[in-house]
Amino acid sequence: MSVKTIKINNKNNINITVALAGNPNVGKSTVFNYLTGLNQHTGNWCGKTVSTAYGQYKHNGKIYTVVDIPGTYSLNATSGEEKTACDFIVSGCPDVTVVIADATCLERNLNLVLQILEVSDSVVLCVNLLDEAKKRKIHIDLKKLSELLGILVVGTSAAKKSGLKELMDAITQTAENPGIYKPLEIMPENNTKNFIGKCEEIYNQTVVCENPEYKAKDKKADKILTSKFTGILIMIAGLFGILWLTLVGTNIISDFLSVPLFGAIGRLYSFFDFIYAPVWLKSLIVDGVYKTLAWVVSVMLPPMAVFFPLFTLLEDLGYLPRVAFNLDNFFRKADAHGKQALTACMGFGCNACGVIGCRIIDSPRERLIAILTNNFIPCNGRFPVLISVTAIFFSHGSNTSPGSANSLISALFLTLFIIFSIAMTFVVSKILSKTILKGLPSSFQLELPPFRRPQIANIIIRSIFDRTLFVLGRAITVAAPAGLIIWIMTNANISGANLLSRFAEFLNPFARLMSFDGYILLAFILGFPANEIVIPIILMSYMSAQSLTGFENLAQLRDILINNGWTWVTAACMIIFTLFHFPCGTTCLTIKKETKSIKWTVASIIIPTVIGIILCMCVTGIANIIKLF
Amino acid sequence: MLLSELKIGEKAKIINISDISGSKNDKSDKSIDKQRLSDLGIIEGTRIETLYKSPFGNPVAYFIRGTVFALRNETAEKITVEKI
Task: Inform me whether the C-beta atom of residue B16 falls under 8 Å from chain A C-beta atoms.
Answer: no
Interchain CB distance below 8 Å, B54 and A111: no
Domain boundaries of chain A, sorted by first residue: 15-212, 226-438+457-628
Task: Inform me whether the C-beta atom of residue B28 falls under 8 Å from chain A C-beta atoms.
Answer: no
Predicted local distance difference test score (pLDDT) of residue A43: 41
C-alpha span between A216 and A570 (Å, rounded)? 52
Q: Where are the alpha helices (DSSP H) in B7-72?
A: 28-39
Counting one residue from chain A and one from chain B, the pairs whose CB atoms sit within 8 A come to 131
C-alpha span between A574 and A578 (Å, rounded)? 6
Residue A453, C-beta contacts closer than 8 angstroms, at least 6 positions apart: A159
C-alpha span between A435 and A414 (Å, rounded)? 31
CB–CB of A6/A17 below 8 Å?
A: yes
Task: Inform me whether the C-beta atom of residue A332 falls under 8 Å from chain B C-beta atoms.
Answer: yes
Nearest by Cα to A322 from A411, A226, A197: A226
Half-sphere exposure of A371 (CA within 13 A, CB side): 31
Task: Inform me whether the C-beta atom of residue A325 falls under 8 Å from chain B C-beta atoms.
Answer: yes
C-alpha span between A504 and A539 (Å, rounded)? 14
Q: Is the peptide bond before A183 cis (omega within 30 degrees of 0)?
A: no
pLDDT of residue A38 exceeding 70, the answer is: no
C-alpha span between A13 and A545 (Å, rounded)? 65
Complex ipTM tops 0.85: yes
Question: How sure is the predictor about B30, in pLDDT bands with cuts at 50, 70 and 90?
Answer: very low
Q: Which CATH class is domain A15-212?
A: alpha beta
Q: Which residue of B has its CA nearest to A232?
A: B55
pLDDT of residue A160 exceeding 50, the answer is: yes
CA A311 to chain centre: 9
pLDDT of residue A405 exceeding 50, the answer is: yes
Predicted local distance difference test score (pLDDT) of residue A95: 87
Disruptive mutation site among A229, A442, A447, A451 for chain B (greatest number of B CBs within 10 Å): A442
- Domains of chain B listed by start with CATH number: 3-20+29-83 (2.30.30.90)
* Chain B residues touching A449 at Cβ < 8 A: 67-68
C-alpha span between A97 and A99 (Å, rounded)? 6
Predicted local distance difference test score (pLDDT) of residue A532: 79
Burial environment of residue B69 by CB neighbours within 10 A (0 to 12, 13 to 18, 19 or more): buried
List pLDDT tens digits, range A515-567: 999 999 999 998 888 787 888 788 878 876 554 555 556 677 788 888 888 99
CB–CB of A616/A512 below 8 Å?
A: no
Predicted local distance difference test score (pLDDT) of residue A552: 58
Phi, psi of A46 (to 5 degrees): -100, 5
If DSSP codes are grouped into helix, strand and coil, which group holds residue B68? strand
Interior angle at CA A578, CA A576 and CA A582, nearest 5: 110
Indicate the pTM of the whole model. Answer: 0.84
Nearest by Cα to A83 from A51, A117, A110: A51
Sign of torsion over alpha carbons A26, A107, A92, A71:
negative
Question: How sure is the predictor about A99, in pLDDT bands with cuts at 50, 70 and 90?
Answer: very high
Task: Inform me whether the C-beta atom of residue A441 falls under 8 Å from chain B C-beta atoms.
Answer: yes
Predicted local distance difference test score (pLDDT) of residue A605: 96
Q: What is the β-pairing status of strands B67-71 and A96-102? A: unpaired
Nearest by Cα to A475 from A600, A349, A300: A300
List pLDDT tens digits, range A109-133: 998 898 888 888 889 999 998 988 8
Instruction: Name which of A13-17, A202-206, A330-334, A578-582 the model is least confident about.
Output: A13-17
Instruction: Name which of A420-424, A432-436, A508-512, B22-26 the model is least confident about.
Output: B22-26
- Residue A418, min C-alpha distance to chain B (Å): 20
The mean pLDDT of A194-223, rounded to a whole number, is 81
Q: How far is CA A251 from CA A12, A258, A308, A326, in A?
A: 54, 11, 16, 32
- Residue A184, min C-alpha distance to chain B (Å): 20
Residue A567, C-beta contacts closer than 8 angstroms, at least 6 positions apart: A515
